[in-house]
Amino acid sequence: MVAPGRIFAEATALNPRHHQHLFVPSKLAYIRGKRPRVKCILCSVARGDKKVTPLVAHETPGFLVTVNLYPYNPGHLMVFPRRHVEDFRELGSAEGLELNRLLALSLDILQKHYSPHGFNLGCNMGAASGASIEHLHFHVVPRYSREKSFMDIISGTRIFAEDPKKALRALRKAFQKAPKG
Ligand SMILES: [Zn+2]
């Protein structure tokens, strides 16, 4: 996948008149910061390490839900265990239940806030699968039946992303309001 920031930069360079409608890439770069030098980025997020960007939308005893720093689509969430697990089969049954509930809750909240037509839901295990982070994490990605093609993106006709911090504030509120249990 091409980094969204790069697509942005290309889109705005090709079509400056659309610039004001697009999320400003330099701001995105500022929010993302430099890739932190930590052993495991998700363990660092779980610990509340100040070296990593805090994008936590929701927390439970065993799991975290974060806004993805490199979203494929607006509303792209990640759900992952606090403890460092690399294989789905290492999760216990109580963790499995907690994960199941969180994924369902994430789908409910994204459905309400983004009204997508579908979702991609899943995880990559191992470098060969495309996983760039070893720590097990599930992606929840809202999808739209009229999503534009890559050509639309680079020609600047698509609003590609939203400000992750703005998304984070709205989603955090939604998770707080969600019924518990
Ligand atoms: Zn980890």
136 contacts 87 by C-beta, under 8 angstroms: yes
Nearest to 135 by CA among 80, 94, 56, 95: 80
Q: Is 137 a catalytic residue?
A: yes
Which pairs count as long-range contacts for 122-130, CB under 8 Å and 24+ apart, including other chains?
123/88, 125/86, 125/87, 125/88
Q: What are phi and psi of 86, to 5 degrees?
A: -110, -15
Catalytic-role residue among 58, 135, 137, 139: 137
Per-block mean pLDDT, blocks of 10 residues, the chain (181 long): 44 39 48 70 93 90 91 88 97 97 97 92 89 92 74 50 80 90 60
> pLDDT of 105-153, one tens digit each?
999 999 999 999 999 999 999 888 888 899 999 999 998 887 765 555 4
> What separation in Å is there between the alpha carbon of 165 and the centre of ligand 1?
23
Burial of 116-149, coded b for 16+ CB within 10 Å and e otherwise, reads: beebeeeeeeeeeeeeeebbbbbbbbbeeeeeee
Query: How far is residue 107's CA from residue 157's CA, in Å, rounded to a whole number?
Result: 27
Q: Quickly name the fold that domain 4-177 has.
A: HIT family, subunit A (3.30.428)
Strand order in the sheet with 77-81: 56-59, 63-67, 77-81, 138-143, 118-122
Residue type at position 87: D
> What separation in Å is there between the alpha carbon of 9 and the centre of ligand 1?
31
pTM (2 d.p.): 0.75
> What separation in Å is there between the alpha carbon of 176 and the centre of ligand 1?
25
First vs last C-alpha separation in the chain: 36
> What separation in Å is there between the alpha carbon of 121 and the centre of ligand 1?
20
> What separation in Å is there between the alpha carbon of 46 and the centre of ligand 1?
8
> What separation in Å is there between the alpha carbon of 155 and the centre of ligand 1?
38
Give pLDDT, residue 32. Answer: 55
DSSP H helices, the chain, are 4-14, 25-32, 41-47, 93-114, 150-154, 164-177
